[in-house]
Amino acid sequence: MVQTIIVVGGQWGDEGKGKIVDFLAERADLVIRYAGGNNAGHTVVVNGKKFKFHLIPSGIVHEGKLNIIANGTVVDPEVLVEEIENLEKMGFKIDDSRLIISSNAHTILPKHREEDNPKKDPHAKMIGTTGRGIGPCYRDKIARKGMRISDYVESSNSKIAEKMKPLVKDTCFIINEAIEKGKKVLFEGAQGTLLDVDHGTYPFVTSSNPTAGGALTGTGVGPTKIDAVIGVFKAYTTRVGAGPFPTELGTEEQTNKEGTWDKIENVYDEALKEALEKANAGDEYYQGKYMRLKGKEYGTTTGRPRRTGWFDAVAARYAVVINGMSSIAITKLDVLQGLKKIKICVAYEVDGKRTTNFILNTKKLARAKPIYEEMPGWDEDIGDAKSFEDLPRNAQNYLKRLEDLCKTRISIISVGPRRDQTIVVDDNNLF
């Protein structure tokens, strides 16, 4: 029986982990956020209501679940209390039976935000930081001059600190005791494998370890206590900010010129129609733009448009290996609806040589040319599909090919944003 599950992003973040965590959280007893800060964003749709979280685990919308912000995270007290108060306004009671913050998590201070300003710091702008103080906070943690949350709530007399104080506890004991008692524990990742500070496309990465190993150091749980690792992948690929992206359709400059979501909303329908027509006429930029519009690929935290591209099976297989993924979840399959042809990157060509291994040298990766397989798409609306067999034959074939290339089983398929638009294909690695 599966008791502990790590959910990890398999790409450059934004894979739809929030929805998968929300789906699994119904059967979990504890939901734990183990890395990152409010540079991450999860969007969950429950009973038609949209919830956006940056720090609090997305299991908070479920009754009877204990949600933990663990020691591997960095916490901006102002952002956290704002999220808590927003939930309270919506009728949620937030106390230590529902939300706990690790005493050992580190505090994002105003100086960290000031330092992490892309408008003032050329390096921050170059790597595409969100400017929320995450990197400087982790740097101070490693330099052993940071402030833990326990120290923050003890030393500050602010209303924010007072609001947080009852929720601050030594979480490693709580988590391990829950596992010993047979509770179901879900570890929620932020960002994605290719943004990992050790294993990602450095320096265009985050400042923490969003990979499965980060769930262990980020919570104080040993590796022998983990039963399953589920990797979440979109049916295509996206990336926010700078850095190499082999399957990108169009250019980063073209994407950024489109503007943030607030500028797109009013012309959405016309833009989507134009993008699909030009995409099916063979225009690569518009193929990417169609996926961006159809998937509403704009950052939860920043509103920035995400760069889009075809599914990169080379990068996906790398993510499967270094996380030890037991199975994978494919999200946003519905976004590909309407495209006459769909491509999958099966290898790279770099400096005239073909490779099926992901390239760890970022400069070489920037020169990588994707080698594609092409498959026929589908026009059918799959939003009401309840089983794998309900999907169009071409969608089934596409998913089977992803399994072959990633060398692991698909356990979950998402065919829309709602919780009920989720198909369980294989429940061997689920609660």
Instruction: Write the single-letter amino acid at 269.
Output: D
Contacts of 319 (CB under 8 A, 6+ apart): 10, 11, 192, 193, 194, 231, 233, 325
Tokens for 347, please give them. 């290898």
> What sign has the CA pseudo-torsion 167, 172, 175, 178?
negative
CA-based max dimension of the chain: 62
Comparing C-alpha atoms, which of 414, 376, 372, 381 is closest to residue 394?
376
Would you say 51 and 58 are in contact if contact means Cβ atoms under 8 Å apart? yes
Tell me the three state secondary structure of residue 95. Answer: coil
Strands 228-234 and 327-331: parallel
d(CA 323, CA 307): 24
């007072």: which residue's tokens? Answer: 162
Of 14, 22, 196, 312, the active-site residue reads 14
């524990």: which residue's tokens? Answer: 185
Tokens for 288, please give them. 């990417």
CA dihedral 127, 130, 136, 138 (to 10 degrees): -100
User: 307: which strand partners?
Assistant: 239
Q: Is 379 a catalytic residue?
A: no
Tokens for 96, please give them. 């230590």
Would you say 213 and 221 are in contact if contact means Cβ atoms under 8 Å apart? no
H helix or E strand, kind and range, residue 329: strand 327-331
Q: Is 420 a catalytic residue?
A: no
φ, ψ of residue 399 in degrees (nearest 5):
-65, -40
Secondary structure tally for the chain: helices H, strands E: 16, 20
CA geometry: angle 190, 429, 392, nearest 5 deg: 90
Of 22, 29, 42, 106, the active-site residue reads 42
């985050």: which residue's tokens? Answer: 206
d(CA 398, CA 343): 9
Would you say 412 and 425 are in contact if contact means Cβ atoms under 8 Å apart? yes
Q: Which positions are annotated as active-site residues? A: 14, 42
